[in-house]
Structure 1
């Protein structure tokens, strides 16, 4: 019989070690628990500074004496667990030291080279400069440092460092470069690559991050609407993929197939602008949202096509996903991006407009209103399902539209207004609308509460609105007028309400006859005409051609289907 006093002591000791284990395990959990605040600091660079050292730390919750933090007065940490939480016991983190150029001392050494290799680069016979010595760091990292101060203001100096994930990771930022060899880690589910920036980038005002799209000399302009790509960090897992003869695809990599499809359409349609209308990422499957966004943005950047993005309900859904604000701050700095966070006083992130200018003047020919439709309902008890556009957004839209009207009247031809959202409006299915140019294959998951943004679109003369969200719906809808010429107070048709259709294999499919697709909007600004059609990824006789072509606007007015 063990004395009660000893039993009590053993229990207390066990509780103490459980508490200590918990404290150590969550000591570095800020990345997991506060992703919005931490990710808003990305990317990891400091203007006017140069990197003087780089290393990797490993720690384990099973080892009470290990730590993933170095002296914060000397080292800064890239706030990304290199194991992306796949190792619940082990973690690894990239650290770097930096100094402002004017603070460099005689003994400071500037990092001018970085590579990842199993072999010692100092033993290579073809070294360019045998006097330069590569220094080893954990994870297979080798750094080359110079003690010549003039290297700090040259293109050789490394001025920023970052981490990207996945075998398909790409770098799209000017002056940044990915290491060809991944980090050499003992475990982990993702390939991890370091990315470095050499030299300081030119001011944003001189970069090609801001472009002004214009209609052609003939007045033509084409928009490709891409929705619901549902990309992952890494290659992704296919859902409901079909191949030849309508049979389920095997050995399908979701992101590979999605990006190949989009590349093909971009090359064939050659759009003047791309609208990304939400759910670019599959939240939980994209633990490093930055790597995922770069894969999609690269398609447009490589082709020098401007693009504008809004968010869907999945984009920031994961536990460690970037917040909408952090994602937009990243998008705002990328080449050819027209994306904008919009006014702080308006609900949501990504309420803004894009002007398509006339060919040879500063007058607007087409205005695109981009709005954030949020995610889940804030009042599930009364309105189960999805959120709705808020009054502050509707007020902003009406105020902006009215303030632009005078300038739009200066355009020599007919000015056209469109809007893009992610979650459809209730009017997409209310009042038995005319369905044209596609199929209604699944229920319309619009908000249960109607904030009447559609009425504001009518009042401001918007001729069409495009959405995503319901992947298998790819039709356009038009609310019919009642006999006598008007439905309620409406004196004319419109706006058209069109779905883009889901384009990504990381999102659901599974509805009979549905294939991944995108929507094209083709404008003739000289006569105020809009024709729209779709392009599908697969299969049969519909393959490799546009389908469901539909003229929706003529002479600046919404027109009903000819049939």
Structure 2
């Protein structure tokens, strides 16, 4: 029995055809689902301009179909417009670009792009000329739109445009979701999904374009304000998806009768409310920002939690949880995105230390002080246990991470001693330490589920105490939000171990009507004091919950 490929006349045996199809599907899976990092890092150098844009569709049941154009001419945005929702078809946005100095007189530069079922020039002409008269020469430019697949229309100019001109397109990207945003400078998301068919509209595949060359992104400087104050907002477990997401155990299920809960919009509304009311100086995202299993395009999810910070010019730092890299991007790729975004102080950290995101953030003293007032240690607690037979559950901090922490802390002590007030140190992680399980009878807040700390104790708590860390705060366990005091053998307070309390509706809630919340740490450098409290998403939303002083005169307070 043979199978005939009609258009080519090539004959393959059934077994041969099946093997070929399997190879093709595996190739498609490799190319599409992991999403090459090239789609998320800068895809240009100054001077590149876009000269054409198109979409290429291919079929996995046709072994001679390809979704790649000549790579010497076309750049492919490595994101399947179907988001892998069908195994039979794929589609990719491609664009051409050239150096300005290489443009020929016959070349055209893209100066505008729209997504529409109809010619935008005709629509504009109809608006400006409702009687339907034939447009005159002055109006003819409005009709100068070129059609491309997927409802894309482009306008091109034969005049040479410098790459920093406001009208010239210099890069193209693809994002997903009805709630999609783009926090990158000079990028604009088109408000209509790609119009290939119902599947691309279902995935809400959207084109984002950049005009001109964006400014160089510089890390912001953090500084104690003139009132000797500094405030950190810890956003734990946002669990954002590609698209609006699905609410898990929302409380209440409907804030307004008949208003269905959408996870990401409700989570981000809560975040933005607190940003506006609390006005934090720094936001620490303590892991599981991305709900991996529902984020087929993690970049779109990342952009959603970054945009409110960029809009308000608030610096932020992020570490990873066990779900962030369960989507289409790994830790290195996610951190590469975060490092390149405005107001981010996030860092991948040393290459020779286990994990991604082992780094410090220094907060300088007020005014023009060159001395650090606060040092914030952020560490990657990894994901799942590498030895399930012996230590079930979650991973632990590795010896070289603890060594890095100790050596960094000790190398900074001499500098920190030069600060005129009391220098203070703290740490943020995602997965709690084993000591979070120990009930010391000195804790405040909710303890509603068993702490899912790793089964192996790497000794990081001892290192924190020895290096005079005042508190460590984690996430991971969504309905625990307590702060617990750790004491030494002589009952002397060592440090506080806190939970952030989950804030995202895409992660589990449960356990008897748990309301989403956010933890804050407020520093007063005059008396060397730290106060912590939480704010609720629903109910008593204006009050500080479980407010407590945990540090006074630069010392842990019982």
Aligned position for 2:514: 514
User: Which one of 519, 536, 543 corresponds to residue 545 of structure 1?
Assistant: 543
1:404 aligns with 2:412: yes
1:187: Cα distance to partner?
2.4
Partners of 1:93 and 1:392 in 2: how far apart?
Answer: 42
User: Which one of 343, 356, 365 corresponds to residue 349 of structure 1?
Assistant: 356
Aligned position for 1:489: none
Aligned position for 1:73: 72
**CA deviation profile, 1:220-265 (whole Å, cap 9, x unmatched):** 1111000000000100000111217999997211111111111111
Query: Is the 1:552–1:559 Cα contact (8 Å) retained in structure 2?
Result: yes
1:434: Cα distance to partner?
3.1
Aligned position for 1:443: 450
1:229 aligns with 2:227: no
SS at match of 2:223: coil
Query: Is the 2:376–2:425 Cα contact (8 Å) retained in structure 1?
Result: yes
Aligned position for 1:184: 195
Partners of 1:553 and 1:138 in 2: how far apart?
Answer: 61
**CA deviation profile, 1:433-455 (whole Å, cap 9, x unmatched):** 23423011001101111111111
**CA deviation profile, 1:444-503 (whole Å, cap 9, x unmatched):** 101111111111111110000010000000000112445xx35xxxxx412100000110
Partners of 2:365 and 2:111 in 1: how far apart?
Answer: 46
Aligned position for 2:131: none
Query: Is the 1:40–1:326 Cα contact (8 Å) retained in structure 2?
Result: no
Partners of 2:356 and 2:183 in 1: how far apart?
Answer: 23
Partners of 1:410 and 1:215 in 2: how far apart?
Answer: 16
* Higher mean C-alpha deviation, range 94-103 or range 496-505: 94-103
The total of aligned residue pairs comes to: 536
SS at match of 1:523: strand
1:76: Cα distance to partner?
1.5
Aligned position for 1:31: 31
Query: Is the 2:253–2:261 Cα contact (8 Å) retained in structure 1?
Result: no
Aligned position for 1:383: 391
Aligned position for 2:8: none
Query: Is the 1:225–1:500 Cα contact (8 Å) retained in structure 2?
Result: yes
1:418: Cα distance to partner?
0.4
Label 1:114 to 1:129 Cα distance change in 2 as closer, same or farther (>3 A): farther
Label 1:548 to 1:18 Cα distance change in 2 as closer, same or farther (>3 A): same
Partners of 1:171 and 1:410 in 2: how far apart?
Answer: 41
Aligned position for 1:309: 318
Structure 1, unaligned stretches of length 5 or more?
A: 1-5, 487-491
- Where in structure 2 are the equivalents of 1:142-291 lying within 5 Å? 142-152=153-163, 154-188=165-199, 189-204=202-217, 209-243=218-252, 251-291=260-300
1:522: Cα distance to partner?
0.7
Query: Is the 1:44–1:161 Cα contact (8 Å) retained in structure 2?
Result: no
Task: Give me the CA root mean square deviation.
Answer: 2.3
Partners of 2:208 and 2:519 in 1: how far apart?
Answer: 34
Structure 2, unaligned stretches of length 5 or more?
A: 5-10, 129-134
Label 1:129 to 1:375 Cα distance change in 2 as closer, same or farther (>3 A): farther
TM-score in terms of structure 1 length? 0.91
SS at match of 1:260: helix
User: Which one of 417, 425, 435 corresponds to residue 427 of structure 1?
Assistant: 435
* Higher mean C-alpha deviation, range 228-237 or range 50-59: 50-59
1:75: Cα distance to partner?
1.3
TM-score in terms of structure 2 length? 0.92
Aligned position for 1:21: 21
